[in-house]
Structure 1
């Protein structure tokens, strides 16, 4: 998620022309969508179709094999019934292509894809019921089981050893600890990194490997209300952080980011865990390390948001608020301690699973 690369900035007119030329679709509306460092545009066509035009940042263009695998994974999951986007082919049969775009520094090549538009709102904007959290955990586990069996000639592109947001690379945060000098969280982050190094890392040989989405955040999960006004998952988006990893990493990331969407973060972990274990029960090593992996993800968010601030000072309000909110929950979890948090998570998961079995 580094910002040291060019971010595309197509005008709406440029985007409409590109869609018409490459996909033979006639846009009637083009709207900007949120994005970290790519450009996402919602395109509505004259016949009522809705799509997302995704123009990747210049750094991503240097590794098209990774984007190719991500695109393949999205289409595979969509075929298996998951609510993921489908990538459309151009009039010449391509699922992605390079386009020359001038972002103010001369022409540069950017990777372009057109995806189906998924309905719904971000899960962060919806009330998170235990049922929805259970569904989130269950869906994440089912999805990773499909991805584990995925075959692709470029699969090795997902071995992202230098990717700072990969949960396998938590210790890369040590290079940025100076950003926390004088910060009240510095001691807490150091504690988590120490526990990761001495407690978690030795257990990695017992973690089960797979391909993970890697970014199942409260912003990348979409929901819609059904006839009874209960919210259901309607979309899984943004596969840009996919990597070869571990099942327990996906679970930890899902729990951490769902915590950001609840007034009482402690209410989140148990229901997600119950849904996950209805598909894929944790082994003992994964169970022992879940707490520290969730906290490690909080540390990544706090430290890397501060690092991004050094290169994106214009986005100070967003990143300062993000680091502050994540830091508050991180400190709360540290204060409660591993034993107490696990007691809440695993007891809630057991209660949730018992309720589900009684309803069958």
Structure 2
């Protein structure tokens, strides 16, 4: 099967979407397209409610969509106040110019993106609370499709990330990322037996976490990168995005991790591992941007985090990550 990240996203026109809605879902509404990495997503505005129509990348497996739906059901069963996207009806299959696509109608999860609300340090602790609560709700969930061998966004698979180094554009860039891969590999080999694994959202960032008018996190969207990996990777992913956008990365991360740990307790090895998993997530971010912007130069969404990720990686290269480890452990003990 072709690579999910090398396959062009769907390119349905609004007229085609309108016809699809009427023929397969028997609904009408005003159609607006939303940004998407590899799929095509529309919001369907109706008098009584808004819905999301998601046309998946043609390289996407049906089992990955079923994984997302099963995870959402599990979360709603355990914590129904967490707002998550849920498929309305069945996943349908359609063809366009000989190419197969899976299409879903999904409830519109209302809320503001955390990234749009000018977050302060105190807000990061609230986000940590929410993501810890989310991990609690997802705890115990498993689905065969979450075992995604060599999935490009799995920061727990350091050897696979290492194989992608040649996608970077310069020797200097390769040396910078190699520095973090080597550090992480040494650390993870020492403590791997203490690190729990489970199914995680794997993309809990400020563009996917929704907040209300009081900046209270109320929901999370975009389950497309779900994977079975390290439990500690869940908060580490969010740490990477917080650090990229903060003027004081360490203090913001400490606030976030205190909030997470208060709702979902981590052991000391997991706490220490988060620093290294964060650097691997940042490394994947720059590798994927370097690779995919050449494949799809018109998609500016692919490079949204590339520059801040490089800035942070170069800053972290000059930092003592053992100090960051100790700061995290101390913060969560107090």
* TM-score in same-fold range (> 0.5): yes
| 1:38 corresponding residue in structure 2 | 39
Contact 1:78 / 1:85 at 8 angstroms: preserved in 2? no
Contact 1:42 / 1:51 at 8 angstroms: preserved in 2? yes
| 2:161 corresponding residue in structure 1 | 173
1:286 to 258, 270, 276: 270
Q: Which has the larger radius of gyration?
A: 1
Give the CA deviation at 1:308.
Answer: 1.3
RMSD over equivalenced CA pairs, Å:
2.2
After superposition, the Cα gap between the structure-2 partners of 1:257 and 1:194, relative to the gap in structure 1 and judged at 3 Å, is: same
**What does 1:1-360 correspond to in 2, within 5 Å?**
2-27=4-29, 29-45=30-46, 47-60=47-60, 63-79=61-77, 80-81=79-80, 82-89=82-89, 94=90, 96-101=91-96, 106-150=97-141, 155-180=143-168, 182-225=170-213, 230-315=214-299, 319=302, 322-346=305-329
Q: Give the TM-score normalised by structure 1.
A: 0.84
Question: Could you say what secondary structure the match of 2:223 adopts?
Answer: coil
Aligned residues between the structures? 330
The Cα offsets for residues 13-37 of structure 1, whole Å up to 9 and x where unpaired, read as: 222232233233221x110111001
The Cα offsets for residues 140-189 of structure 1, whole Å up to 9 and x where unpaired, read as: 222223323235xxx11110121011122232222232344635333221
Give the CA deviation at 1:121.
Answer: 2.5
After superposition, the Cα gap between the structure-2 partners of 1:25 and 1:275, relative to the gap in structure 1 and judged at 3 Å, is: same
Give the CA deviation at 1:336.
Answer: 1.9
Once residues 87 and 167 of structure 2 are traced to their aligned partners in structure 1, the CA distance between those partners, rounded to angstroms, is 40
Once residues 260 and 149 of structure 1 are traced to their aligned partners in structure 2, the CA distance between those partners, rounded to angstroms, is 31
Contact 2:272 / 2:326 at 8 angstroms: preserved in 1? no
Give the CA deviation at 1:213.
Answer: 0.3
Contact 1:120 / 1:234 at 8 angstroms: preserved in 2? yes
Once residues 172 and 283 of structure 2 are traced to their aligned partners in structure 1, the CA distance between those partners, rounded to angstroms, is 13
After superposition, the Cα gap between the structure-2 partners of 1:178 and 1:257, relative to the gap in structure 1 and judged at 3 Å, is: same
Q: Give the TM-score normalised by structure 2.
A: 0.90
After superposition, the Cα gap between the structure-2 partners of 1:320 and 1:220, relative to the gap in structure 1 and judged at 3 Å, is: closer
Once residues 128 and 346 of structure 1 are traced to their aligned partners in structure 2, the CA distance between those partners, rounded to angstroms, is 24
Contact 1:75 / 1:84 at 8 angstroms: preserved in 2? no
Give the CA deviation at 1:281.
Answer: 2.4
After superposition, the Cα gap between the structure-2 partners of 1:178 and 1:150, relative to the gap in structure 1 and judged at 3 Å, is: closer
Once residues 85 and 130 of structure 1 are traced to their aligned partners in structure 2, the CA distance between those partners, rounded to angstroms, is 28
Contact 2:272 / 2:325 at 8 angstroms: preserved in 1? no
Question: Could you say what secondary structure the match of 2:305 adopts?
Answer: helix
After superposition, the Cα gap between the structure-2 partners of 1:165 and 1:233, relative to the gap in structure 1 and judged at 3 Å, is: same
Once residues 235 and 10 of structure 2 are traced to their aligned partners in structure 1, the CA distance between those partners, rounded to angstroms, is 32
Question: Could you say what secondary structure the match of 1:72 adopts?
Answer: helix
Contact 1:144 / 1:211 at 8 angstroms: preserved in 2? no
Question: Could you say what secondary structure the match of 1:336 adopts?
Answer: coil
Question: Could you say what secondary structure the match of 2:246 adopts?
Answer: coil
Once residues 88 and 76 of structure 1 are traced to their aligned partners in structure 2, the CA distance between those partners, rounded to angstroms, is 16
Once residues 303 and 350 of structure 1 are traced to their aligned partners in structure 2, the CA distance between those partners, rounded to angstroms, is 35
After superposition, the Cα gap between the structure-2 partners of 1:334 and 1:181, relative to the gap in structure 1 and judged at 3 Å, is: same
Question: Could you say what secondary structure the match of 1:35 adopts?
Answer: coil
Q: Which runs of 5+ in 1 are unaligned?
A: 352-360
